[in-house]
Every structure is written in structure tokens, then in C-alpha cells.
Amino acid sequence: MAQQHILGFIAYNIVGTTSLIGCLLLVHFGCDTQRLIDDAKCYLNFDVNKQRECLEEKSKKKDSHNTGKFFADFLIAYALHQLLLPLRLGLTTFFTPKVTKYCKVKDIEFWKKWKYFK
């Protein structure tokens, strides 16, 4: 039983890390996050006139300012990563018994060396 717990933990971390890196690559190389953030700032104003002014002002000035671009990409990727939690849990539940079976067949039992799992 202890082997499935530790292998489940390892599988969850591998799936989670892969998901976060994939989301970060998708956001960083796939979408214009600066435009997304600017649009969000404009639409968070609840006054319609301020929204219109903000959108007109944004369309007039073309700013190539990239300060904090990676940080913004990371935050958006992390939010996407958190939305994928049900998928990550499902993949972990699917892969853990298969990895445990593989470790038993190949006689890979590294957790027996740890004093907490004896």
C-alpha cells in the first residue's frame, strides 16, 4: 500500500510539472498576453464610457513595452494550469496503478530503502 502512495505522489508531481511547463510554453509562445491584460483592464471598468475611452486610447497608442511580460505569462499559465486540475487528477489516477505494476514486474522498489516505508 505504501508503494502506491509514494508512486501516486511522484506521478502527480510529474503530471503537474508537465502541465505547468506545457501551459507556460503555450501562453508564452502562443498568445499576446499584453493585449489580454490591457483588454481585461479596460473591461474591468464598470462604466461603459470609461471602457469606450480606454479602448479608444489603447487603439491610438501602440506601446511596445514588455516589462513584466514573462511574469504576466506565468500568471496566466498558472491560472490555466489550475483550471486543468480535474484532468491532472484523472491522469494521476490512471497512471499510478500502471506504474506500480511496472515497478513490481521490474522489481524496482526504491521506497523500501526509506525508513518511513518499512
Question: What pLDDT, in 10s, does the model give residues 5-47?
Answer: 788 888 889 999 999 998 888 888 877 666 766 666 666 665 6
Q: Evaluate whether 27 touches 76 at the Cβ level (below 8 Å).
A: yes
Q: Where are the domains of the chain?
A: 2-117
SS3 at position 44: coil
pLDDT digit string, tens, across residues 71-98? 888 888 898 889 889 999 998 889 888 8
Q: Evaluate whether 1 touches 96 at the Cβ level (below 8 Å).
A: no
| Model pTM above 0.95 | no
| pLDDT value, residue 17 | 93
Higher pLDDT, 81 or 118: 81
Question: Is the pLDDT assigned to residue 118 strictly greater than 60?
Answer: no
| pLDDT value, residue 1 | 52
Nearest to 3 by CA among 105, 106, 104: 104
| pLDDT value, residue 80 | 87
Nearest to 40 by CA among 27, 28, 26, 54: 54
| pLDDT value, residue 18 | 92
Question: Is the pLDDT assigned to residue 49 strictly greater than 70?
Answer: no
